Amino acid sequence: MAEVIRMPLLSDTMTEGVIAEWHKKVGDTVKSDDVIAEVETDKATMEVVGYVDGTLLYIGVEKGQAAKVNQIIAIVGKPGEDYKPLLEEAPASSSQEPAKNEAAPAPTAAPAAASFDKAAADEALKNATVIRMPLLSDTMTEGKIVAWNKKVGDTVKSDDVLADVETDKATMEVIGYADGTLLYIGVKEGDAAKVNDIIAIVGKKGTNVDAILAMENNSGSAAPASTEEAPTASTSSAPAASASEAATGTGEEGRVKASPLAKKLAAEKGIDLSKVTGSGDNGRIVKRDVDNYVPSAAPAQAAKTATAGAATYIAGEEGHTDLPLSQMRKVIARRLGESKFSAPHFYLTMEINMDKAMEARKAINEISPVKVSFNDMVIKASAMALRKHPEVNSSWMGDFIRQNQHIHIGSAVAIEDGLIVPVIKFADQKSLSQIAGEAKELYDKAKNKKLQPQEFSGNTFSISNLGMMGIDQFTAIINPPDSAILAVGGIKETVVVEKGQFKATNIMKITLSCDHRSIDGAVGATFLQTLKGYLENPVTMLV
């Protein structure tokens, strides 16, 4: 059955997006991980992935035109498949003869997908807004509802945060951009929903939610797995009570008033919420309060909590612990698995004499407003080397190779849930102090799960540095859509022979992982030679 591709919500302030480019045309074969279009939002130009296999049957928005969030921009299905009924149903602009009597919300199971009253659905959509799981990162396929900040029956304003969603890269807030009453919640806390699944409906009280859900089921779009009916008090009372306890803090956890996301972040950071001052309504603690909290004796409490939660091991007995996968871990497994087994990797290793780099860094930090690290120097040198070797600053696109004219360096950061790659954009055009300042800000945001989509997407080349952990040398898996990634080891004092004399030299080993489909061995080798020249003589980076 054909699948509808809608304009995703790519930033927390986005209401519409402009199609900057279509990468597919009607009739083209589309894979689930293909980038079908580029969309310009209010903050960045980002890629739209369809997440379905088939043939592109329909393009609803021409290049250069804008579409509102959740508007149909394309349809993918089988060749020759009739997709027009999907277009007739989605806009709620046309009507047909009613198939049944006047509908009213009923406390029954979820509506069947076999038939639906289109006239009733059209009328309901005039008074309600469907909230779907937004695309919050370029690699996201589903999101997990961490917490609902509203319950069924609550009044909702257009700028209210409805829910907190955990993606593969961060925990982010979902805003409904609609005024009204929360009529329906389609995904419970702790459950996941695929991108574009219905997660909530906001509108006027008394709106026929069943008709909207029946139309969604009939159209072949992702239907809500939950069978709870929003308009009925009986089916929503349990989750409403749970949400109320979490929001007011009057449950078993104590009398502290805190939002669910604030509680989650506080638990992760080992922060005692009783010591945090709330800035929300009636002193309620919200996410920003936890983010801005400066702990005093919090580390000891965090250590105590970690010890209490540790597994108990009994000598002589076998055992194991099954850990649930976070959204981030799922995407790491999928994306890097695809990269490793689809991109033919080859590896080039080189030793760098860091004596002059160490001297230069010391001199730079005496005048730099921000402390410059060796990793910042590697980022700058890599960016300048990429400018001379554009073949490495490329992406394999299936039937062509894309050489990027801009240089965006991704720098991998290890966080509690896995790995994320903040991106320093236009790195070749920035000074070392600018790179250092921006990198520090991005790393702090990454560790606090505050990165925005535009800050961890768009990389054209990546760097992974384990030198600070005592690793001399390693190989890294290419981070799609890049064609290469640089693995950086630690600086180690090594005895070498120079002109028949022994001397101690500071050596750093780097390994370049290349996608052989877009980069040949000689190309990768010459890139490393240029990079080596910049690092061994840092003055050349300033010319």
**Per-residue pLDDT tens digits of the chain, which is 543 residues long:** 688 888 887 765 678 888 989 999 999 998 877 888 888 876 567 778 777 788 999 999 999 898 888 889 999 988 888 888 888 765 433 333 333 333 334 433 444 444 567 888 888 888 888 999 888 766 678 889 989 999 999 998 887 889 988 887 677 888 877 889 999 999 999 899 988 889 999 999 888 888 888 888 876 544 333 333 333 333 333 333 333 333 334 333 445 777 766 777 777 777 888 888 877 656 778 777 787 787 554 444 444 444 444 556 788 888 888 988 877 788 788 888 989 999 999 999 999 999 999 999 999 999 999 999 999 999 999 999 999 999 999 999 989 999 999 999 999 998 877 888 999 999 999 999 999 999 999 999 888 877 877 888 899 999 999 999 999 999 999 998 899 999 999 999 999 888 888 999 999 999 999 999 999 999 999 999 999 999 999 999 987
Q: How many residues does the chain have?
A: 543
- Cis preceding-peptide flag for 481 (omega within 30 of 0): yes
Judge whether 516 counts as a catalytic residue: yes
First to last CA, the chain: 59
> Which domains does the chain possess?
3-88 (2.40.50.100), 127-206 (2.40.50.100), 331-541 (3.30.559.10)
Could you tell me which residues come within 8 angstroms of residue 528 by beta carbon, excluding any fewer than 6 positions away?
348, 350, 510, 512
Judge whether 23 counts as a catalytic residue: no
- Cα gap 326→329, rounded to integer Å: 5
Distances (CA, A) of 396 to 33, 337, 392: 13, 16, 11
Strand 198-203 relative to strand 128-132: parallel, antiparallel, unpaired?
antiparallel
Name the DSSP letter for residue 285. B
- Cα gap 86→265, rounded to integer Å: 41
Residue type, 62: E
Given 82, 444, 472, 520, the catalytic residue: 520
- Cα gap 58→70, rounded to integer Å: 16
